[in-house]
Each structure stands twice: as structure tokens, then as C-alpha cells.
């Protein structure tokens, strides 16, 4: 786990229930108590998402509320990669990756969670389990839940979401999975992003990235709530108002490609983190 030392060195290391945790020193006492209680009776804690065979998300409540994510790595190759950092781990789909991404993004964005602790179980050179503890956004609901309950709000809500996407690019990152379940609405209408397992830490090309965000958001499943014609019109109003200098030659093809067709996670990662891959993708659109 040496490749994470630049992140864990500022945290306090402590072993809890056989898990090596790196804790935020400012909350260490509270977090230690909460984690010890959790491991004593994990079945007593509320789940925040449908559990899978290798993944669970729990709500921990103390002086504050926290989200505890747990991930079991079952394949030896993945265990080896994550322990040794053999690949560019911020492009992989796991909690080690989310720890790296949030550590980079949360320092420059108010729309993302803050890391409270990162934990792991394993012996050299295999990482068996990962834990990530982040702050919980209380009294928030997902965009997905809101528009399912009130579909008439879809168009109005969309303008706020487009503003959020634009702000993330100004802040210097690209969330690679920006769908309605990963965007939360606060009690005052403020929007926040969660689930940073796949994220680019820099913006190679603003207009390319904007085309991806707007196109992907519709494709993933916002299309269930609004017609493509109305979505295009809303995006056009936003672009005219907020991005008058937009390079349409770059934006339009990327937007339509992601709006109309599925694109794999590996392709998204490649073209949003490599200038050469991005240029090749643009040539393919022509």
C-alpha cells in the first residue's frame, strides 16, 4: 500500500476489528467508537443501498452521520493490483480508487463528500477488503427519487444540474458517472455529487468534457423523464447563457455520441484522462 502513503501519512493509523484504518485526526475519537460499535453488531445498521455479494453501504450515526462503504475483492489479480498500485488506480472501480479521487477533489469542491477514514484488510501482496468512511449528506434525496416522485420538475431541475456540471469543470475535475442516483438535492435546493469511484482529476478539454457530461446524463436514464427534443432545447438554453464561446465542433459530436449510445467505463476513463485518446475519439466521430 506504499502508493497511498502520500495520502495516508496525514491520517492517524489505527487497527479496529482486524482492519487497518487511516482516520481523520480531527474526528478520530468519535470515528473509533462508531467503528468499534459497527463491527460488534454490523447487522444492526441501516443499509443505504441494496447490498451485493461483495459490496455494502451502511449508515453510521453518532455526533454526526457517516457513510461506511465496504468492498470485498475476490479476484487475486485485482487484490494484487490494488495492494501494489500496479495500475493507474484512479481509473479502476473500487474504494481504493474512490479514496484517491475524493482526496484530490474534495479539497477544491464543496459538492463532494469528505473522506473521514480509509480501511483495508490484507497481507503483502494481496488486498482482500476495502472500507471508506465519508460524511453523510443529511436531509438530501437523489435526483432520481425526486423526478420519480415529481416528474413535472424534470425540466426545471435539469438547469440546476447543468450548472453543477459546469461548476465541476471550473473546479478542475470530471465525474465519470454523473447519473441521477449520484446527484443529491439538499433541503435548500443545493446539489452534490457522490460515488467518486471513477473520476478525472483534471479537465483536458472543457468543451469535450461538457459534451460528455450533458450527453451521458441523458443517456443513462434521465431520458425516462424528458424527451430528447426538450432535453436538447434545455441544454441549448444553458449553453447560450453560460458558454457563449463554446467550440461547437468539439462539443456537438461528443454530446450526441454520449446522448445516443452507450460508452463503456474503460472508454470513458481513457478519453477523459488522455489527450491522445481524446483526439483519437474525436477523429472517430468525424
pLDDT, one tens digit per residue, over 137-196 is 999 999 999 999 999 989 899 999 999 999 999 999 999 999 999 999 999 999 999 999
Question: Do 58 and 38 form a contact (C-beta atoms < 8 A)?
Answer: yes
DSSP state letter for 7: H
pLDDT interval class at 90 (50, 70, 90): very low
**pLDDT value at residue 213:** 97
**pLDDT value at residue 82:** 81
Looking at 41-45, 83-87, 217-221, which range is the least confident one?
A: 83-87
Domains within the chain, CATH numbers bracketed: 2-135 (3.30.200), 141-285 (1.10.510.10)
Question: Do 57 and 47 form a contact (C-beta atoms < 8 A)?
Answer: yes
To which H or E segment does residue 130 belong? strand 126-135
Residue 243: which of 165, 189, 142, 130 has the closest Cα? 165
Other Cβ atoms within 10 Å of 161 Cβ, number: 22
**How open is the CA angle 170-240-214, to the nearest 5 degrees?**
55
CA-to-CA distance for 38 and 14, rounded, in angstroms?
A: 15
* pTM (two decimals): 0.90
Q: What's the pLDDT tens digit per position in 242-281? A: 999 999 999 999 999 999 999 998 899 999 999 999 999 9
Amino acid at each position: 500500500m506504499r502508493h497511498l502513503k502520500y495520502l495516508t501519512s496525514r491520517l492517524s493509523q489505527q487497527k479496529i476489528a482486524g482492519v487497518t484504518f487511516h482516520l481523520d485526526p480531527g474526528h478520530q475519537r468519535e470515528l473509533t467508537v462508531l467503528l468499534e460499535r459497527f463491527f460488534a453488531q454490523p447487522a444492526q445498521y441501516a443499509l443505504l443501498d441494496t447490498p451485493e455479494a461483495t459490496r455494502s453501504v451502511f449508515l453510521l450515526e453518532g455526533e454526526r452521520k457517516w457513510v461506511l462503504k465496504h468492498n470485498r475483492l475476490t479476484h487475486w489479480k485485482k487484490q494484487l493490483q490494488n495492494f501494489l498500485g500496479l495500475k493507474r488506480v484512479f481509473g479502476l472501480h473500487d474504494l481504493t480508487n474512490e479514496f484517491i479521487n475524493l482526496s484530490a477533489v474534495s479539497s477544491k469542491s464543496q459538492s463532494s463528500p469528505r473522506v473521514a477514514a480509509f480501511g483495508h484488510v490484507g497481507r503483502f501482496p494481496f488486498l482482500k477488503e476495502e472500507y471508506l468512511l465519508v460524511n453523510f449528506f443529511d436531509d438530501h434525496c437523489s435526483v432520481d427519487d425526486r423526478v420519480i416522485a415529481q416528474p413535472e420538475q424534470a425540466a426545471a431541475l435539469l438547469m440546476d444540474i447543468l450548472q453543477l456540471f459546469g461548476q465541476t469543470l471550473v473546479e478542475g475535475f470530471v465525474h465519470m458517472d454523473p447519473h441521477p442516483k449520484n446527484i443529491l438535492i439538499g433541503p435548500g435546493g443545493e446539489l452534490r455529487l457522490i460515488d467518486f469511484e471513477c473520476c478525472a482529476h483534471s479537465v483536458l478539454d472543457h468543451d469535450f468534457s461538457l459534451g460528455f457530461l450533458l450527453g451521458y446524463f441523458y443517456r443513462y436514464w434521465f431520458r425516462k423523464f424528458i424527451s430528447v427534443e426538450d432535453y436538447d432545447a434545455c441544454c441549448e438554453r444553458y449553453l447560450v447563457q453560460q458558454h457563449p464561446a463554446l467550440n461547437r465542433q468539439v462539443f456537438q459530436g461528443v454530446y450526441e455520441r454520449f446522448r445516443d449510445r452507450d460508452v463503456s467505463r474503460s472508454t470513458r476513463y481513457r478519453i477523459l484522462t488522455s489527450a491522445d485518446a481524446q483526439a483519437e475519439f474525436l477523429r472517430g466521430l468525424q
